[in-house]
A and B are shown apart, each in its own frame.
Chain A
Amino acid sequence: MSTPLGKFPGGLVLDGQKKRSTHDAIRKTPLSKKLILPLQQHIGEASTPIVAVGDNVLKGQRIAKAEGHVSVCLHAPSSGTITAIDEQPIPHPSGLSALCISLETDGEDRWIEHEEIADFTRLSEHDIRQKIREAGIVGLGGAGFPSFIKLNPGVHHHVETLIINGVECEPYITCDDMIMRERAEGILDGIEIMQYALRVNHCVIAIEDNKPEAISAMELALGRRHSLKDTRIVVIPTRYPTGSEKQLIQVVTGKQVPSHGLPIDIGIVCHNVGTSYAIGRAIKHGEPLISRIVTVTGTDVKHAGNFETLFGTPMHELLSFCDTHREPNEPFILGGPMMGYNLSGDHLPVTKTANCILVGVDNAAPKTEPLPCIRCGECATACPVSLLPQQLYWFSRSKDLEKTREYNLFDCIECGCCSYVCPSKIPLVHYFRFAKTETMNHELETQKADNARIRHENRLERHESEKKEKEERQRQRKLALAATKAAKEKEAAKKAAESSTDNQEN
């Protein structure tokens, strides 16, 4: 064990509320009759279906392929028949629908043939990344960024440290805690593979000090693993949002990831413990990512706990399996109380990024209307990125997007600390999310307009040159015509002259 080297400004000490869901071991969610699989469960391009309606598929069979670079494949979580490929409501704050593959399970749960690899070192780094991509693995901490990209440092970067994120700082969520307690060996398998793919020996597993069971389980497993002698466990003081990638790097290494930069810029790669476990399963056992551990908790959940759930399982089935008091279509939170968002609708499926379903928060403050900002500055003190939330609030409210960017809006990690401490209960993060999407949309529109302008100008230019060409052709033709005419006349004159001389001679 070693100690952390740094800390970040601001942050909060929150009541963890994690006991409720750590009483029982991880359980398996019963197989659902129907699985709904959104084609986009990750950041980047949606994947493209490679099955048709009516096809029979086996568990673990690829049903959609990666499209473009930032994309991963999607697999059937169980055996059955594809019943539809159409738009279905997806778990997204917008409540909108997107293209999904619906799978009716046959209950047999029959695996497709998959290859187990005992010694992964016979594969090249490239092959490992490719296998991870084909296994559909994305960051399971919540963001869902394709993992194979983060395992490819490229030629310009040298990775010094691999950080395995087992911090799980947000209240209520315990899926990483439980996976460390129960599947430490599997996580270490993943670490070995990632170290090999990144060519790095130094690895740090960061765990918050409110998870003593997870720490001892990981230590025990690590002590038995002689191949991982450069891997250390760092116990980190419990403080929200230490689990956020950039904040964690600051705590563990004392180094700051530059604004607009990536951890790789300072030689660090960070992966979640759940992702590490998934990578171990994918490479060593050939199993693609078809399930994840979901925490179901909250005051309205009778049997709270962690559930290994197949992707596509309707959330209401999971909730009723845990005996949740909930009216149909009553809203619940996906994610934690700080960064999660409200969802309603019963048939939303569990996806790769669904780490926690929260129904009912303890001591929930009654919903009040926000009061005017009193400029107390609490938000700036709490901000872990040292931004000025108050200024950003004014600019977002007046839709001064240029100014929000000047004040580094895009460095905001949307942790919710500012909204939490605001005595006027102003939904600050909501304003920042609004300003962010507004800016991105504005950029997209400008880009489209620029494109249209160029295309229009090119078209005008083309017409102009076509016109000129036509004129030139006409001129040429006229000249040619005139020339032939002149030649003919000359000929005629010559003939006439000849005939006249003939006449004279006669």
Chain B
Amino acid sequence: MLTAILAITIMALIFGLLLGYASIRFKVEGDPIADQIDKLLPQTQCGQCSFPGCRPYAEAMANGEADINRCPPGGEATIQALADLLEVEAKPLDDECGVEKPKTLAVIVEDRCIGCTLCIQACPVDAILGAAKQMHTVITDECTGCELCVPPCPVDCIDMVETKLNPNTWRWPDPSHIDLKLEDHS
């Protein structure tokens, strides 16, 4: 009887120590769920979700404090991906945050730019290049189309231009609509 109790106690102690050690040794840095959610977000850093960037929104979602339908740039596809990841029901985009729009890029009308640097300070991804009283310009490849640079501009010289499809970014159309037509017949 006593040996049994002793044996169990010792075993419990050993396993306890082992678990305790493992939890320190193999500690996961950061929040893996928030990381996974962050990966699915479009990283426009536009703040339309009412959080200051994609990462804070991802953390809020991971903590269950925010809904999954607050990202207009990601739109339906992102909501679907988030719903799959978090195993919840997908829902339509929250109107409060905005509407899904085609992808745009900021373009500075260079004749009108007065070089005030306000847009440079507003850009969340440092995609605007310029200096005080010098003309500014947008690094097209880095622009996420978040529109955050538009309101601060005092001379209204930033246009949001829809990104044009070129032969290299063009995608073959989905042929399944042909099949769908067929299913309608039956």
A residues in contact (CB < 8 Å) with B: 40, 90, 92-94, 96, 98, 369-372, 397, 399, 426-427, 430-431, 433-434, 436-438, 441, 444-445, 448-453, 455-460
Whether B43 and A450, one on each chain, are in contact in the complex, defined by CB atoms closer than 8 angstroms, is: yes
Complex interface: stretch among B8-16, B93-101, B174-182: B174-182
Which residues of chain B come closer than 8 Å to A40, judged between CB atoms?
167
Q: How many A-B residue pairs have CB under 8 A?
A: 83
Whether B166 and A96, one on each chain, are in contact in the complex, defined by CB atoms closer than 8 angstroms, is: yes
Name A428's closest neighbour in chain B (CB-CB). Answer: B175
Whether A370 and B171, one on each chain, are in contact in the complex, defined by CB atoms closer than 8 angstroms, is: no
Tell me the smallest distance from the CB of A64 to a CB of chain B, in Å: 17
Whether A458 and B43, one on each chain, are in contact in the complex, defined by CB atoms closer than 8 angstroms, is: no
Does B3 reach chain A (CB closer than 8 Å)?
A: no
Which residues of chain B come closer than 8 Å to A371, judged between CB atoms?
182
Does B149 reach chain A (CB closer than 8 Å)?
A: no
- 27 CB < 8 A contacts A-B: A40-B167, A94-B167, A96-B165, A96-B166, A96-B170, A369-B178, A369-B181, A371-B182, A372-B182, A397-B179, A430-B175, A434-B173, A436-B172, A437-B172, A444-B169, A448-B144, A449-B41, A449-B42, A452-B45, A453-B55, A455-B125, A455-B127, A455-B142, A456-B43, A456-B53, A459-B124, A460-B53
Does B44 reach chain A (CB closer than 8 Å)?
A: yes
Which residues of chain A come closer than 8 Å to B59, judged between CB atoms?
none
What does DSSP make chain A's interface, helix, strand, loop or mixed? helix
Tell me the complex Cα distance, A455–B124, Å.
8
Tell me the complex Cα distance, A371–B126, Å.
52
Whether A453 and B167, one on each chain, are in contact in the complex, defined by CB atoms closer than 8 angstroms, is: no
Tell me the smallest distance from the CB of B139 to a CB of chain A, in Å: 10
Tell me the smallest distance from the CB of B123 to a CB of chain A, in Å: 8
The 6 A-B residue pairs with the shortest CB-CB distance, nearest first, are: A449-B43, A94-B170, A452-B43, A437-B171, A455-B125, A433-B172
What does DSSP make chain B's interface, helix, strand, loop or mixed? loop
Tell me the complex Cα distance, A92–B126, Å.
35
List B103-160 residues whose CB lies under 8 Å from chain A.
124-127, 142, 144
Whether A451 and B182, one on each chain, are in contact in the complex, defined by CB atoms closer than 8 angstroms, is: no
Which residues of chain B come closer than 8 Å to A430, judged between CB atoms?
172, 175
Given known A94-B170, A452-B45, contact A369–B182 (CB-CB < 8 A) = yes
Which residues of chain A come closer than 8 Å to B43, judged between CB atoms?
448-450, 452-453, 456
B residues in contact (CB < 8 Å) with A: 38, 41-45, 53-55, 124-127, 142, 144, 165-167, 169-176, 178-179, 181-182
Name A99's closest neighbour in chain B (CB-CB). Answer: B166
Name B175's closest neighbour in chain A (CB-CB). Answer: A430
Name A427's closest neighbour in chain B (CB-CB). Answer: B175
Name B53's closest neighbour in chain A (CB-CB). Answer: A456
Which residues of chain A come closer than 8 Å to B45, judged between CB atoms?
452, 456
Whether A451 and B171, one on each chain, are in contact in the complex, defined by CB atoms closer than 8 angstroms, is: no
Tell me the smallest distance from the CB of B41 to a CB of chain A, in Å: 8
Partner of A98, one of B53, B55, B126, B167: B167
Which residues of chain B come closer than 8 Å to A431, judged between CB atoms?
175-176
Whether A370 and B166, one on each chain, are in contact in the complex, defined by CB atoms closer than 8 angstroms, is: no
Tell me the complex Cα distance, A80–B126, Å.
46
